């Protein structure tokens, strides 16, 4: 039997490579994917990351965005992830970017295969399930959110490691599983997408008790919980800075409605059996109908296989508890994806941290994970060549998804639905989904009758199904060169000056080493003055404004980046008082300062790098040193090695009082959240190592 499955295994492996090839094509041709966030955000952020690494440091703070930005706290570049450190320190930007992008799909495929093999599925079935998950609708449509795809890829890896801890009777294997649980969660945390940590924890909280109950090993949940705790501690060097950044971002002012943005409108359920029935494939219900957010289709087979599970429930080799658990998890996470149209996610919005995670539709990732596993279980059953004909009642059950697709096609073709033209696609487009569902249903029927060639045809159909649906969006914008992203933008004349760009440019000019007073990020910093406003830009040192045609209009009203002032006023409402002062001569502070006097002295930059600013000052009397870098609690200052208090100047910027005479003022960005995170991560690493060592030496639970 094993030998007879090898051609099928080879076919699935070949089809998987065929789906991987379009993702790897940009790497082979010296290009990258650049659609929306990839080109506007992820590439520029990794450019400044790469530059800092090659200069010998990690840019926990960058002066290139928002007049200064806690970029490590924002997190999406994953600056402390070992893979990122290796790639961007050693390779050209485009190559590193592509390899980071591709690694997520490799990890998703390998992790899903490992997990399904741990569930005792055959190699062919595990390969098929891995294909379904790695190239699922979520993973392909969200390709432009590369860190989101990365954290999603960890879920089956985490579940497989948990299974090793619960199931294995060999102490060393269990110790390796424990280390795997901790390292998987640490990797998720360091990837810099907090929502992904929550997804992984949800999946673990579902699978671990289910597996332990199924195997009668509930005591094994304790080491699993220990591994999870160690993993979160290991990732604290990213988690704590992100929580700190969230506390100082505009998200603190968002209402609960923000968390319910991109809820899955019930009309989108039609996608499950008719992927092309809706106009633009998705229905936005008043929100921007982004396919990558609202697209939930993940292949006809994951829906067509569900009735088969019911029909053959008594003969499947996988336990009924696991199948029931997978089905329940798929249903619960689908209700979560409904967001405001369900009830579960509405309740979650009252929870701290979790309640601020937007786009409930993204829970569909967990639904697709469970459905892929269920489809793999069906495939495993069919690959065993049962040769058992279906009775008429069973045929009617098997045909339910096809019937739903046919009814949807009739609805599209009719004129009964009033907003039909705004809601539905042309009939020819909708018909494609129905034809595909019919073909997949027939393949399942024939395979159930022992026609093994039908399984091969099912694999090919599924590959085409996923590929056409996903890559039609992936290649909606052809891959471009790295250089094309900043084409037409002149090189920066002075890398210390800041500029203003059109809002729809994102951060692209960072590729030419510009600094911006505003920018684009996942966590926009909370400021007293609007960072797109004229006053903030003058204080931030904006020397030019880019127009839409890439032409540059100079500005000459910016204040100096470093300056000494004596006219200083205390203000509890700088946003209101700022218009009443001369920005060049006067500054506002939020607390009383010592008596300042004398003619303004001189201040000169000695060092101006990310997270480090050194200024040489010479003043005849105590004066205020004002610096055009955005204030953050993480800044520390010394004067000739002696600590001095950092002040908030003009609501948003840095300052400190300098004493008479010549001094070297040094400012370093050393936030407490980063220090506490590093210490916690060290503790987590020690605890995980000790726990794994103790488990390896013990043969007991």
pLDDT tens, position by position, 432-457:
999 999 999 999 999 988 888 999 99
For residue 677, is pLDDT > 80?
A: yes
Q: What is the pLDDT of residues 160-216, one digit of tens each?
A: 999 999 999 999 999 999 999 999 999 999 999 999 999 999 999 999 999 999 999
Q: Provide the b/e sequence for 46-59 (b: ≥16 CB within 10 Å).
A: bbbbbbbbeeeebb
Positive or negative CA dihedral for 202, 203, 208, 213? positive
Using CA atoms, how far apart are residues 96 and 85, in angstroms rounded to an integer?
Answer: 10
For residue 6, name the pLDDT band (cuts at 50, 70, 90).
confident
Region 509-538: what's the mean pLDDT?
94
Q: What is the pLDDT of residues 44-53, one digit of tens each?
A: 999 999 999 9
Region 279-307: what's the mean pLDDT?
93
For residue 238, is pLDDT > 70?
A: yes
Region 16-42: what's the mean pLDDT?
97
Percent of all residues in the chain with a pLDDT value above 70, rounded to a whole number: 97
Q: Which two tokens stand for residue 284?
A: 């936005």
For residue 398, is pLDDT > 80?
A: yes
Q: Whose CA is closest to 206, among 341, 302, 322, 114?
A: 322
Provide the H-helix boundaries in 135-255.
Answer: 137-141, 146-167, 171-190, 194-215, 221-234, 236-247
Using CA atoms, how far apart are residues 445 and 441, in angstroms rounded to an integer?
Answer: 6
What's the CATH class of domain 562-670?
Answer: mainly beta
487 Cβ contact partners less than 8 Å away, ≥ 6 residues apart: none
Q: What is the pLDDT of residues 655-673, one digit of tens each?
A: 999 999 999 999 999 999 9
Residue 4: per-residue pLDDT: 61
Q: Residue 125 is inside which H or E element, if any?
A: helix 123-134
Alpha-carbon torsion angle 380, 381, 387, 390, nearest 10: -130
Residue 416: per-residue pLDDT: 64
What are phi and psi for residue 664, nearest 5 degrees? Answer: -110, 115
For residue 469, is pLDDT > 60?
A: yes
419 or 588, which is more confident? Answer: 588
Q: Where are the domains of the chain?
A: 562-670
For residue 648, is pLDDT > 80?
A: yes
Region 212-236: what's the mean pLDDT?
97
Region 634-649: what's the mean pLDDT?
97
Alpha-carbon torsion angle 333, 335, 339, 342, nearest 10: -160
For residue 258, name the pLDDT band (cuts at 50, 70, 90).
confident
For residue 1, name the pLDDT band (cuts at 50, 70, 90).
very low
pLDDT, the chain, mean? 94
Q: What is the pLDDT of residues 118-161, one digit of tens each?
A: 999 999 999 999 999 999 999 999 999 999 999 999 999 999 99
Residue 315: per-residue pLDDT: 84
Using CA atoms, how far apart are residues 533 and 305, in angstroms rounded to an integer?
Answer: 56
Q: Which pTM value belongs to this model?
A: 0.95
Q: Poorest-confidence range of 87-96, 199-208, 542-551? A: 542-551
Q: What is the pLDDT of residues 344-359, one digit of tens each?
A: 888 888 888 888 888 9
């Amino acid at each position: 039997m094993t030998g007879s499955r090898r051609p099928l295994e080879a076919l699935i492996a070949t089809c998987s490579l065929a789906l991987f090839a379009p993702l790897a094509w940009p790497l082979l041709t010296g290009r990258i994917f650049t659609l929306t966030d990839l080109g506007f955000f992820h590439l520029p952020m990794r450019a400044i990351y790469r530059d800092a690494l090659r200069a010998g440091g990690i840019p926990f703070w960058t002066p290139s965005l928002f007049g200064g930005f806690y970029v490590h706290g924002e997190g999406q570049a994953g600056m402390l992830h070992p893979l990122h450190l290796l790639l961007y320190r050693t390779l050209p930007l485009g190559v590193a970017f592509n390899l980071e992008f591709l690694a997520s799909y490799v990890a998703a495929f390998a992790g899903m295969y490992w997990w399904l093999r741990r569930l005792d599925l055959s190699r062919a079935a595990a390969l098929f399930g891995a294909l379904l998950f790695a190239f699922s609708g979520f993973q392909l449509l969200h390709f432009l959110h590369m860190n989101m795809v990365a954290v999603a890829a960890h879920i089956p890896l985490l579940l497989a490691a948990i299974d090793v801890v619960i199931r294995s009777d060999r102490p060393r294997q269990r110790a390796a599983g424990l280390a795997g649980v901790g390292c998987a969660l640490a990797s998720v945390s360091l990837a810099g997408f907090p929502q992904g940590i929550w997804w992984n924890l949800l999946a673990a909280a579902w699978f671990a008790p289910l597996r332990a109950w199924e195997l009668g090993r509930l005591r094994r949940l304790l080491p699993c919980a220990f591994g999870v705790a160690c993993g979160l501690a290991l990732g604290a060097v990213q988690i704590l800075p992100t929580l700190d950044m969230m506390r100082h971002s505009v998200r603190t002012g968002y209402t609960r409605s923000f968390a319910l943005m991109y809820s899955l409108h019930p009309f989108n359920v039609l996608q499950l059996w008719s992927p092309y029935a809706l106009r633009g494939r998705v229905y936005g219900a008043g929100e921007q109908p982004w396919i990558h957010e609202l697209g939930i289709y993940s292949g006809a087979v994951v829906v067509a296989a569900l009735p088969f599970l019911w029909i053959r429930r008594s003969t499947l080799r996988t336990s009924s508890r696991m199948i029931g658990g997978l089905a329940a998890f798929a249903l619960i996470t689908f209700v979560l994806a409904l967001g405001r149209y369900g009830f579960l996610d509405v309740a979650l919005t009252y929870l701290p941290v979790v309640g601020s995670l937007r786009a409930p539709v993204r829970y569909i990732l967990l639904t697709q994970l469970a459905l892929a596993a269920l489809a793999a279980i069906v495939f495993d059953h069919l690959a065993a060549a049962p040769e058992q004909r279906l009775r008429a009642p069973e045929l009617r059950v098997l045909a339910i998804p096809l019937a739903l697709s046919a009814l949807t096609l009739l609805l599209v073709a009719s004129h009964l639905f009033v907003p039909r033209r705004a809601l539905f696609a042309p009939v020819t487009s909708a018909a494609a989904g129905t034809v595909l569902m019919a073909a997949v249903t027939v393949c399942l029927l024939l395979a159930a009758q022992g026609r093994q060639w039908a399984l091969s045809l099912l694999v090919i159909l599924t590959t085409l199904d996923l590929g056409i649906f996903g890559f039609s969006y992936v290649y909606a914008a052809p891959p471009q060169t790295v250089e094309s992203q900043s084409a037409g933008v002149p090189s920066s004349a002075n890398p210390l000056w800041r500029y203003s760009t059109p809002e729809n440019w994102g951060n692209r000019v960072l590729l030419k080493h510009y600094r911006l007073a505003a920018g684009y990020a996942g966590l926009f910093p909370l400021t007293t003055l609007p960072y797109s406003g004229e006053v903030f830009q003058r204080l931030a040192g904006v020397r030019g404004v880019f127009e839409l045609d890439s032409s540059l209009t100079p500005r000459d009203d910016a204040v100096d980046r470093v300056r000494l002032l004596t006219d200083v006023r205390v203000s509890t409402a700088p946003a209101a008082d700022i218009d009443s002062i001369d920005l060049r001569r006067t500054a506002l502070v939020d607390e009383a300062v010592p008596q300042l006097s004398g003619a303004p002295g001189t201040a000169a930059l000695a060092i101006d790098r990310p997270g480090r600013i050194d200024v040489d000052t010479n003043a005849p009397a105590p004066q205020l040193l004002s610096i055009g870098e955005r204030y953050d609690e993480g800044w520390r200052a010394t004067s000739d090695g002696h600590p001095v208090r950092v002040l908030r100047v003009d609501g948003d910027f840095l300052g400190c009082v300098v004493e008479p005479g010549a001094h070297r003022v040094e400012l370093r960005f050393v936030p407490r959240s980063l220090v506490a995170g590093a210490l916690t991560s060290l503790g987590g690493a020690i605890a995980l190592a000790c726990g794994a060592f103790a488990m390896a030496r013990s043969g007991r639970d």
